[in-house]
Amino acid sequence: MAFQEGYNTARPSYFDGNDFAYWKDRMEYFLMNDIENWFSVVDEFEKSKDALEAPLSTKDWSKKICKKVQANAKATTTLQCGLSKEKLSKVGPFNLAKELSEKFIELNEGSSESRRAKRDLLVGQLQTFNMKSNETISQIHERFKEIVNGLHVIGEKIDN
């Protein structure tokens, strides 16, 4: 059995191109370890402007603005470190952690239309789920978990 790396709380998970849902979940929790980083990914970050709507000079930034800029940079770096150069280049240009995250999610999960199609497929699989011949209990459980986790990733709630 080959050595497999466990979960490391000191550095982000690395996306190897397989099981995006697993990577996304781990990356979200890694970013939540510093909540300001997580806010940079989920909230819109706008650079501060002066009274004339021109970008505010960095020398005029308050401590609060500096903290937001730093959190955005840290979140962006964390996301970048979790991606290979090949995966990062597929995302295209971005300026903020939120943009990087959204573009990468769409690249891997698809547009809202394709997510809807995926949801319909998974719900159909769940509704017609049954044991296959010669399938063990652990295989059934694994197949069921894959369907449920797939639904979870696209935001579909499942009642018990």
Condensed to tens digits (0 to 9), the pLDDT of residues 124-159 reads 999 999 999 999 999 999 999 888 888 887 777 777
Condensed to tens digits (0 to 9), the pLDDT of residues 70-86 reads 999 999 999 998 888 88
Asked if 15 and 81 touch (Cβ cutoff 8 Å), the reply is no
The amino acid at residue 19 is: D
The residues, ordered by sequence, that sit 6+ positions from 73 with a Cβ below 8 Å of its Cβ are: none
Three-state secondary-structure class, residue 83: strand
Q: Give the CA radius of gyration of the chain.
A: 20
The amino acid at residue 90 is: K
Residue 2 has pLDDT above 60, yes or no: no
Higher local confidence (pLDDT), 24 or 5: 24
